[in-house]
Structure 1
Amino acid sequence: MTIHTIKARGISVSLDLTVGHIADMVVEGGGRQLKPLHRAPWVDANETLPDNLPEGTVRLSGDFLCAPFSRSDVEEAPLHGWPANSAWDVTESAATEDGWRAVYRLRHKVMGATVDKILTLRDGHPFLYQEHVFSGGHGAISVAHHPMTAMTGGGRLAFSPKRFAATLDDPLEPDPARGRFLLAYPARSADLSQFLAAGGGTLDLTEYRMDDRREDFLTLVEADHGGPGWTALARQAEDDLVLVLKNPAELPITMLWLSNGGRDYAPWSGRHLGVLGIEDGRAAVGHAASIGDNWLKREGVATAFALGEGQSVSFRHVIGAIPLAGGEPPQAITTADGRIRLVTGGATREVPFDSDFLRIGQPAAS
């Protein structure tokens, strides 16, 4: 395993070059070290794993690029594609006037395209700024970020405005001998605090409870609100606020993966606890579905980027963490003038932020 670490004042990020996963992210805040990202318990355990696992599952960590998202059923590749399962090379890594910037290139091509990952850190900013660039290629590709955080005491969630939340036709773990789920499949709700439960009644999607053993997956579709898309998680035991931001024109959906002891088979073995995937994407489930007809397209939601020789496509994403104030996530987030503003109750909090980075208001590639 090869780890490449970059640093700026108050933040460091390490990339596992064998699979392109973020192996570690540390933010200094409130006199503490905040670690917003998850690393699967088997990664560093030196244990024998099932021999048919994708390398991205073997080394499951932090955040990674999915291209395509889920099944690679157009071009042969492992689950979530080569960007999540194969080697990246460092092509640039150098200090900037206000931090650090590194560029990595995937050794594999994806649909004939060259894929670059650009990580930027800024002094005093508690955020990792990411950009992925696809150059050349043919056809179309679905994409998603796959940041994962973990909690030991649960947490509270808040989101930018969404049109609705929906589950797929079938749960991830339908066989009770292998796992369990709590949400109804399929189901849909415009009220995130009242989503149909498998056993009747409703569940609050804004609350992550540690006593709910489950493996659930659902999709949130962004509303047309003109600002950044965001997810904020107030982790109770960790006493911090994890922030994930996107440009909805580039990544119009947020997929939530709630993995809390809901899989009983190896390597999960009931020990993958308190994990939440906040997976911003432009995708349906599977490459073929994403570029064909699918339920999201019928809702007017883009599920792939078109590729072409002599063309490039890029999208951006931000992950951060700050100390928790007041115990609850913000009700509103805005970005402007080099700051991010978080409104919680009657209190407003400001933190340094590159407010131009997400290109809000600019047209996205098709």
Structure 2
Amino acid sequence: MELEVLPRRDCLLPIALHPILSLPLKPGSARLNIGPHDTVWSHPLGSDPDPCPLLVDDVSPNLAGVICRDGSEIDLTSLPLAEPAECRVLVPNASGRVTLDRLEEGWQTVLEWNRADFPSLMLWVSNRGRKGSPWNGRHLAVGVEPCRAAFDLGPTISAQSNPVASIVSTAMAFRAGKVWRTAYAVSVRSCTVQGSLSDCRKRAVA
């Protein structure tokens, strides 16, 4: 897939893709692999009024050990979670490739993008925690969002000095009348599953 942006005027804006991948019903029956990464940042505003166990505005070493408010760790690579939650985390310096294995069903979704365009990855774990309409406590999915942004905090914060911008760019400089292009791919593979490991072969490309 290709995305083109044609600005009417010069501007400095955050930009992101917004794929949403469905999750199976059984806790822990999907495995999320985001590739090599240095840190995972929890959202600075939390998730109120939706529940989330993560420590607000904190940095964890990896997605398999994100720090919770009670001092424990939670593995956000093993989905769905057992308890209702709505969690947003940001991974600066993302790898440019994410896989989601549905372990009991034998298939895998792969998302690939240009990390030069989208250096970070924001994850939205929507785990039946959003009670309002239209989610109604039933939404079970993970948003896998390559981005050049400071979380989802909007252009004012992303286009200015912020903690994430000290590591990676959080806004794109667009020029009036000049087309900006990027490409990304979503593919599906059948898998031979052994525990949490998958030996996959490419089957189809969406």
**TM bucket normalised to smaller:** 0.7 to 0.9
> Counterpart of 1:302?
169
Matched to 1:283, the amino acid is A
Q: What secondary structure sits across from 1:156 in the alignment?
A: strand
Q: What secondary structure sits across from 1:212 in the alignment?
A: coil
Contact 1:180–1:214 under 8 Å retained in 2: yes
Distance 1:252 1:323 in 2: 28
> Counterpart of 2:37?
162
> Counterpart of 1:247?
114
Matched to 1:276, the amino acid is V
Following superposition, the deviation at residue 219 of structure 1 comes to 0.4
Question: Unaligned 5+ residue runs, structure 1?
Answer: 1-129, 331-343, 355-366
Following superposition, the deviation at residue 251 of structure 1 comes to 0.6
Q: What secondary structure sits across from 2:115 in the alignment?
A: coil
> Counterpart of 1:209?
80
Q: CA RMSD in A?
A: 2.3
Runs of 4+ in 1 over 3 A off after TM superposition: 327-330, 349-354
Contact 2:158–2:171 under 8 Å retained in 1: yes
Distance 1:311 1:328 in 2: 49
Distance 2:192 2:88 in 1: 29
Contact 1:305–1:313 under 8 Å retained in 2: no
Q: Identify which of 275, 279, 282 aligns with 2:148.
A: 282
Following superposition, the deviation at residue 210 of structure 1 comes to 4.2
Following superposition, the deviation at residue 217 of structure 1 comes to 0.3
Q: What secondary structure sits across from 2:97 in the alignment?
A: strand
Distance 1:167 1:255 in 2: 10
Contact 2:20–2:144 under 8 Å retained in 1: yes
Following superposition, the deviation at residue 136 of structure 1 comes to 3.6
> Is 1:291 paired with 2:159?
yes
Q: Identify which of 185, 193, 198 aligns with 2:56.
A: 185
Contact 2:16–2:146 under 8 Å retained in 1: yes
Measured at CA, do residues 328 and 303 of structure 1 come closer, stay the same or move farther in structure 2, by a change above 3 Å?
A: farther
Q: What secondary structure sits across from 2:123 in the alignment?
A: strand
> Counterpart of 1:262?
129
Distance 1:315 1:328 in 2: 36
1:321-360 paired onto structure 2 within 5 Å? 321-327=188-194, 351=202
Contact 1:234–1:327 under 8 Å retained in 2: no
TM-score in terms of structure 2 length: 0.86
Q: Which of these two proteins has the greater Rg computed from alpha carbons?
A: 1
Residue by residue over 1:297-325, the C-alpha shift from the partner in whole angstroms, topping out at 9 and shown as x without a partner, is: 112x1112211124221122111111222
Matched to 1:144, the amino acid is A
TM-score in terms of structure 1 length: 0.50
Measured at CA, do residues 169 and 309 of structure 1 come closer, stay the same or move farther in structure 2, by a change above 3 Å?
A: closer
Identity %: 25
Q: What secondary structure sits across from 2:192 in the alignment?
A: coil
Number of residues of Structure 1 aligned to a counterpart in Structure 2: 199
